[in-house]
Amino acid sequence: MVERRFPRDAGSLTHRAYTLRPARSLVFRVTVWAVVCVLCACAGAAALTAWRARRAGMPPEQCAAAPVDEATKQAELTRTRLALAQEMAARAAVQKAADSAAAEVARLNAELQFLRGQSRGRSPATTAAPRG
């Protein structure tokens, strides 16, 4: 014979809504995070202090310009002037070509306008007349 020990409890357990609860309390978790943050800050401060102590014994590095030979400076200046002169000559040649192209376009445009005016001026009788 089958005995039913807790029929009421089994039914209520299966129809209940369950939620997950953390194993540790909120206070414990916040305390652990606070301790970890404090330890990280202490480690960073110790590392910074050690780094500054190591650098304290060294003289600060001065930024000094490297000496430049006068002949090298003059050669570089001459090369730069030559490059500038070449650039000016190239720009002048491009400008001259652009000006001549603009003049050619203006001439062709005027000729086109003239030819269009000539084709409008013809009467339909002269264009339809057979050539013979």
Q: Report pLDDT digits (tens) over 9-49.
A: 666 667 777 788 778 888 999 999 999 999 999 999 999 99
Domain that holds residue 30: 24-56
102 occurs within a structural domain: yes
- Looking at the structure of the chain, the number of domains it has is 2
How far apart are the C-alpha atoms of 73 and 112, rounded to whole Å? 58
Provide the pLDDT for residue 55: 82
Model pTM score: 0.38
Provide the pLDDT for residue 95: 97
Percent of the chain with pLDDT over 70: 81
78, 100, 79, 98: which is closest to 90 by C-alpha? Answer: 98
105 occurs within a structural domain: yes
Provide the pLDDT for residue 127: 54
